[in-house]
Amino acid sequence: MERLKVNLCGIPIDNPVIPASGTFGYGYEFARFYDINLLGTFSCKGTTLEPRFGNPTPRIAECPDGMLNSVGLQNPGVRAVVEEELPRLRQVFRKPIIANVSGFSPEEYAETCAILDREEQVGWLEINISCPNVQGGGHAFGTTPEAAASVTKAVRKRTTKPILVKLTPNVTDIVSVAQACEEAGADGLSLINTLLGMRIDLRTRRPVLANTFGGLSGPAVLPVALRCVYQVSRAVRIPVIGMGGISSAEDVLEMMMAGASAVQIGAANLVNPLACKEILEQLPSVMDRLGIQSLYELHS
């Protein structure tokens, strides 16, 4: 449908609905529920250079209007993704995907991206800078403009495809981090990643998560995500993908009105595997109700 089309870093996509990394696997897992080619694209499970088992269990905790997760980037490593996961995905998905990449040094990010850059199936590289910087004392790369820029520059030198830097909201000034990424060569930004939180088991008096802290996602974070997208989109010239708490067609439009060129939907997929399909189906009628002829007019 023409009125739903958007452009993401120079690549046209059929609609702005994109399942978020970590909530959609490598895509083919959801193909048994519906034709995933209906989607604009999707962001694959976070991939690192080497395989990772992830954090100890329990990794998930429920919250009012959301959830906490501390999965710890469990994945088979980039070589297994290229050799096993992407060929399996090709059987059910014909569009370019967003490859989500994590790492623990700028060099590791760059090497993983260089491997994925050679894959025709990969349209964009989404750089998750919420990972701990093992060379810088364990603080996430996304918490300072300097560290965020160092990862962006390293990846830019090794890749030709559009780079989307995924920003953490766990900072004092997300705008300065976004501007540093733009200056370092990012083609777009994804925000927000999860908010840091925790739960305590009243019976044991101990944290519910084995890792103590986890990332809060779900409808509870939508107001924070909207604020961040609004601020960042007005401070940079590159496109922004908005995410955080989106669970309806109305949320999609609200996020785009805040300044997003496209949206990612995360926790909703874990509650309802058909969430993205249903949101996409509802989007035209909600646009009609609000007098929106085309999504492009939200950025005019």
- Catalytic residue numbers read 131
Q: What Å distances lie between residue 260 and 57, 124, 236, CA to CA?
A: 35, 17, 12
| Amino acid in position 278 | E
- Tally Cβ neighbours within 10 Å of residue 102: 23
The per-type count for the chain, helices as H runs and strands as E runs, is 9, 15
For residues 1 and 284, the answer to whether their CB atoms sit within 8 Å is yes
| Amino acid in position 93 | F
Distance CA 72, CA 58 (A): 11
Distance CA 59, CA 208 (A): 9
For residues 265 and 276, the answer to whether their CB atoms sit within 8 Å is yes
Nearest to 41 by CA among 75, 74, 6, 72: 6
Nearest to 220 by CA among 186, 145, 169, 292: 169
Nearest to 17 by CA among 37, 40, 43, 38: 40
The DSSP string of 27-63 is: SGGGTTTS-GGGSS--BPPPB-SS-B--PPSP-EEEE
